[in-house]
Amino acid sequence: MLNSDKPNNLPRHIAVIMDGNGRWATSKGLSRSKGHRAGAENAQKLVEYSKKLGIKYLTLFTFSSENWKRPKSEVDDLIRLLRYYLRKETSEFHKSGAKLNIIGDLSKLPKDVVDMINNAMDLTKDNNDIIVTVALSYGGRQDITNAVKNIAEDLRVNKINEIDEDLVGSYMMTGDTPDPDLLIRTGAETRISNFLLWQLAYSEIYFCDVLWPDFNSLNLDKAIEFYAAKQRRFGGLPNLQENK
């Protein structure tokens, strides 16, 4: 765990593409559903460790809008897993002081799952030790498209009269959350897969070969150290005083 060497510029918001559950399971001769279960258990560990470090916001990409194209049996397994964790872990999540947000197109989910999601978000809405956002049935293009539609409607009814970047950002599904400082993708792939396309404009990106179920606290420490070594300029020049 990061200790006396803990970087002063700890990322306030970490986003994670948790990739590699299926490959992890296949490599061990297990079903893909067991890989997804192992990945869910690891996500719980990541939340707890991030909270200990002082990370304020954690956003996890669990199921993309494109993942509905996967075999029905795998999608059904994922829904059952989601239902299981919502039923079993919501109370403990609340007791830990974590707030849960879930973003994405929830209209495709079974009604009982949507009800459990809404109940979990309502139960934890006043918690602030760590804010955990789960991107579920989510796509970045979908997010931007919905924002454009909502902005157009509010323009039509004169609710707004001027558009700038701050306003557009406020219409994203993460509108009440600061943009990620650091994006981590596990599983050796080097793309962002339609995740938070607007929000990741100036995020540092850390690609890791480790498959998600094996991604542990030491791997997170390395990602944070990678971030801490960066000089974030947001398109500007470095501080000239630093070069004198």
Q: What is the pLDDT of residues 12-41, one digit of tens each?
A: 999 999 999 999 999 999 999 999 999 999
Residue 152 lies in a domain: no
Residue 118 lies in a domain: yes
Residue tagged active-site, from 5, 8, 19, 194 = 19
Total domains present in the chain = 1
Domain limits for position 207: 13-139+180-233
Residue 41 lies in a domain: yes
* CATH code of residue 186: 3.40.1180.10
Region 61-67 average pLDDT: 91
Q: Give the global pTM.
A: 0.91
Residue 185 lies in a domain: yes
Residue 169 lies in a domain: no
**Mind listing the pLDDT tens digit for each residue in 105-142?**
999 999 999 999 999 999 999 999 999 999 999 999 99
Catalytic residue check, 19: yes
Asked if pLDDT for residue 156 goes beyond 50, the answer is: yes
Residue 72 lies in a domain: yes
Residue tagged active-site, from 21, 67, 105, 129 = 67
Residue 170 lies in a domain: no
CB 17 within 8 A of CB 193: yes
- Residue-by-residue DSSP string for 37-89: HHHHHHHHHHHHHHHHHT--EEEEEEEEGGGGGS-HHHHHHHHHHHHHHHHHH
